[in-house]
């Protein structure tokens, strides 16, 4: 697989908007059984409209048409959602840009369904790309984080002790002691994803038998360095991460009939999503003002993806059912704000000690060479000066001799004039 310029948009350090898409899933069996109807229609590649005619005649504070980078109706495939924009963002990590792909939406709207496909398509493309490159060597590292009830957990560790978040002046927020596993191949990926799935907190609610009760971040770190055959031209080492974020779904306790444990989870989920919504809204309206990233673990961990050094795509998922109109509108409002948010991704170049030593050695050799050339030039100049000095001495000697000869000639002339009795003053050429 080759990555074309279109797919691997460089744009180092340039601001760009978050790529926002909306995907509507089909009505599910329960919704059909309740004779619910579909409220939404994608009328073009990027416009989705509210099609409930009765409501159109009512005065509504909500818009009835929304435009995004792409919209996908209920007959769309995850492959389409991936190929038409999300892929470009995800694969930019191969070129050293941090990137993130999020799924956001109410519970049971299709976030996990969409993100599972996107994660696998993207990592499959990353493997293909790596296999076709012989001028660079790649190392892939896999890690997985879960945020459950505001606690951060390592999905690759049997130890459920919450992990601490630390502030790194260069990298931003980092998850302390997070397991990173060297990813070998496709089979290895499938094993790791299965471990994450088994570890992730899933519970049954009345809206989704397999509801994700936590936020999940699958993180792939891609490091690449010039291979032996590539020569010195491309000496940089690139390191970037791509995050695949499957958020827990926003929900109303009344709709999910939550009590006890599920209600508590729902409270945490909604609070962190509220912070995410506030962060996105503030970034879209006053990006230079105070952004409350630190109000939730989710926004702290994803700070770079939301307004910093990253390329970001958000897939907002909707249930089409009329029963979920309010939630769908909230999701669309989130999406409207998200499309105004700008990030500015930079190529992340790192130096290994080996490369650093090599570069210093090269620089020293260059300086030594320059020094030698300079001392060569100095020697030449000294020789020229010496030669000139000799010439000057010779000329001074000649002047001295000529002056002596002139004086001798004058005195002889005086003698001759005196002997001839000629008055010297009457001879004009005798001074």
The residues of the shown chain that bind ligand ATP, judged by CB under 6 A, are 25-26, 28, 105, 107-113, 208, 210-212, 248-249, 317
Please identify, using beta-carbon distances, which residue of 109 and 224 lies nearer to ligand ATP.
Answer: 109
The least CB distance from residue 26 to ligand ATP, in Å, is 5
Please identify, using beta-carbon distances, which residue of 178 and 202 lies nearer to ligand ATP.
Answer: 202
Look at the block and give the residue holding tokens 């190392």.
Answer: 139
Please identify, using beta-carbon distances, which residue of 193 and 347 lies nearer to ligand ATP.
Answer: 193
Cα angle 282, 285, 288; round to 5: 70
The least CB distance from residue 265 to ligand ATP, in Å, is 11
Tokens of 2: 């080759």
Please identify, using beta-carbon distances, which residue of 249 and 307 lies nearer to ligand ATP.
Answer: 249
Please identify, using beta-carbon distances, which residue of 237 and 276 lies nearer to ligand ATP.
Answer: 276
Please identify, using beta-carbon distances, which residue of 218 and 222 lies nearer to ligand ATP.
Answer: 218
Q: How far apart are CA 389 and CA 72, in angstroms?
A: 88
Residue 213's Cβ-side half-sphere holds a number of Cα atoms within 13 Å equal to: 21
Q: What are phi and psi of 245, to 5 degrees?
A: -110, 115
Q: How many CB atoms lie within 10 A of CB 354?
A: 10
Residue showing the smallest CB distance to ligand ATP in the complex: 249
Please identify, using beta-carbon distances, which residue of 25 and 281 lies nearer to ligand ATP.
Answer: 25
Q: Please say whether the beta carbons of 136 and 225 come within 8 A.
A: yes
The least CB distance from residue 107 to ligand ATP, in Å, is 4
Please identify, using beta-carbon distances, which residue of 21 and 108 lies nearer to ligand ATP.
Answer: 108
**DSSP-derived pairing of the beta strands 19-24 and 15-17:** unpaired
Tokens of 407: 């004086």
The least CB distance from residue 47 to ligand ATP, in Å, is 19
Q: Please say whether the beta carbons of 299 and 152 come within 8 A.
A: no
The least CB distance from residue 212 to ligand ATP, in Å, is 3
Q: How many CB atoms lie within 10 A of CB 183?
A: 20
In the three-class reduction of DSSP (H, G, I as helix; E, B as strand; rest coil), residue 123 is classed as: helix
The least CB distance from residue 314 to ligand ATP, in Å, is 14
Beta bridge partners of 66: 48
The least CB distance from residue 125 to ligand ATP, in Å, is 21
Q: What are phi and psi of 153, to 5 degrees?
A: -130, 145
**Closest by CA position to 140, among listed 122, 118, 152, 153:** 122
The least CB distance from residue 38 to ligand ATP, in Å, is 13
In the three-class reduction of DSSP (H, G, I as helix; E, B as strand; rest coil), residue 305 is classed as: helix
Give whole-number Cα distances, 11 to 244, 311, 344, 359, in Å.
22, 10, 9, 26
């Amino acid at each position: 697989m080759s990555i074309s310029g279109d797919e691997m948009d460089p744009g180092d350090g340039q601001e760009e908007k978050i790529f926002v898409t909306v995907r509507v899933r089909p009505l599910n069996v329960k919704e059909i059984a309740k004779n619910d109807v579909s409220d939404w229609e994608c009328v073009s590649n990027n416009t989705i409209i509210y099609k409930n005619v009765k409501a159109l005649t009512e005065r509504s504070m909500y818009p009835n048409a929304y435009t995004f980078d792409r919209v996908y109706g209920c007959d769309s495939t995850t492959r389409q959602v991936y190929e038409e924009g999300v892929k470009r963002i995800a694969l930019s990590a191969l070129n050293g840009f941090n990137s993130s792909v999020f799924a956001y939406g109410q519970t049971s709207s299709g976030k996990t369904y969409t993100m599972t496909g996107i994660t696998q398509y993207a990592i499959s493309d990353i493997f293909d790309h790596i296999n076709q490159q012989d001028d660079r060597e790649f190392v892939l590292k896999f890690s997985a984080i879960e945020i459950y009830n505001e606690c951060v957990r390592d999905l690759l560790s049997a130890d459920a002790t919450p992990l601490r978040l630390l502030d790194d002046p260069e990298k931003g927020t980092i998850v302390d002691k997070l397991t990173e596993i060297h990813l070998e191949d496709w089979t290895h990926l499938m094993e790791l994803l299965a471990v994450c799935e088994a570890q992730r907190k899933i519970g049954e609610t009345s809206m989704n038998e397999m509801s994700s009760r936590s936020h999940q971040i699958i993180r792939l770190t891609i490091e690449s360095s010039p291979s032996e055959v590539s020569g010195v031209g491309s000496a940089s080492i690139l390191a970037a991460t791509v995050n695949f974020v499957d958020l827990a779904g926003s929900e109303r306790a009344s709709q999910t009939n939550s009590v006890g444990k599920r209600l508590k989870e729902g409270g945490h989920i909604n609070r962190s999503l509220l912070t995410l919504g506030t962060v996105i809204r503030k970034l879209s309206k006053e990006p230079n003002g105070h952004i409350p990233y630190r109000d939730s673990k989710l926004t702290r961990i994803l700070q770079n993806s939301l307004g910093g050094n990253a390329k970001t795509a958000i897939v907002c998922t909707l249930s089409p059912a009329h029963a979920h109109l309010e939630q769908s509108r909230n999701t669309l409002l989130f999406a409207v704000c998200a499309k105004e948010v700008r990030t500015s991704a930079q190529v992340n170049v790192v130096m290994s000690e080996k490369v650093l030593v090599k570069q210093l050695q090269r620089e020293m050799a260059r300086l030594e060479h320059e020094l030698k050339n300079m001392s060569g030039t100095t020697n030449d100049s000294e020789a020229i000066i010496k030669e000139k000095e000799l010439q000057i001495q010779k000329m001074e000697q000649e002047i001295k001799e000529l002056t002596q000869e002139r004086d001798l000639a004058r005195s002889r002339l005086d003698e001759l004039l005196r002997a001839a009795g000629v008055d010297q003053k009457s001879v004009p050429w005798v001074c």
